Amino acid sequence: MPKYTRETLKNLLDGKLPFSEVKVMMSSFKDPERFEMMLEIHQSRVPWPEKILLPLGLHLYIVLKENGDRVVKCDCGYEFGDYRKNWKLNALVYVRDTEEKIAEIYPKLMGPDPRWMEIREYYCPGCSTQLEVESVPPGYPVIFDFKPDIDAFYEKWLGKPVPTVE
C-alpha cells in the first residue's frame, strides 16, 4: 500500500500533482493515516481554532464548536449553522434564469435554455467565495449535497471515537 508524504498530500490538495500521479492515488487503497494527515493540513491552513471534524467542500468544513455543536464553517470563518441543515439555505445565491444572465458565462447557443434549466450559484456571505453551483429545472428544491454520519465515520471507518469538547 503506497504511503504518501505530507508534502505530496499538500500538493494534491493544491492541485499541483500531475494527473497521472493523482490517478494512481485515486485508484489505490488509501493509507490509514491519510485522513488524519489531510485533516492536519486543512487545520494548519484555517485562521480559526475550532477542530475540523470533516472537510465538506473546497472551502467548507464541519467543525466542533466549544459547546459541542457541529457546524458548517467557511475557511474565512463564516458559520452556516448546524451541519444537518443545508448550508446553502444560509448562503448568498445568484440564479441565472434568463438568457441574459446565462449569456454572461456561456457563449451564445451553448448554454442551457432557461425555460428548462436554471443555474444557481452559492456564495459565502463572509468572503464572497463561490462555494457551489447547481443546475436544475426551475422550481427544483435546493440540493442538499451531503449529510455525513460523522459518528459512524469515525467509529466504524476510522476506528476511533469522534472528537468531543474536553
Using CB under 5 A as the criterion, which residues of the chain lie in contact with Zn ion when the complex forms? 74, 76, 78, 124, 126-127
Task: For Zn ion, give the closer residue by CB, 89 or 158.
Answer: 89
Q: Give the number of other CB atoms < 10 A from CB of residue 121.
A: 17
In this structure, what are the phi and psi dihedrals at residue 95, rounded to the nearest 5 degrees? -105, 120
Cell of 79: 458559520
Minimum Å gap between C-beta 87 and Zn ion is: 11
Task: For Zn ion, give the closer residue by CB, 57 or 126.
Answer: 126
Residue 123 in contact with residue 76, Cβ under 8 Å? Answer: no
Cell of 137: 429545472
Q: Is 159 helix (H, G, I), strand (E, B) or coil?
A: coil
Minimum Å gap between C-beta 1 and Zn ion is: 36
Minimum Å gap between C-beta 76 and Zn ion is: 3
d(CA 132, CA 90): 13
Minimum Å gap between C-beta 136 and Zn ion is: 23
- For cell 476506528, what's the residue? 159
- Edge-first strand order for the sheet with 70-74 is 51-55, 60-64, 70-74, 79-82
Minimum Å gap between C-beta 77 and Zn ion is: 7
Task: For Zn ion, give the closer residue by CB, 79 or 97.
Answer: 79
Task: For Zn ion, give the closer residue by CB, 59 or 120.
Answer: 59
Task: For Zn ion, give the closer residue by CB, 76 or 150.
Answer: 76
- List the alpha helices (DSSP H) in 46-112: 99-103
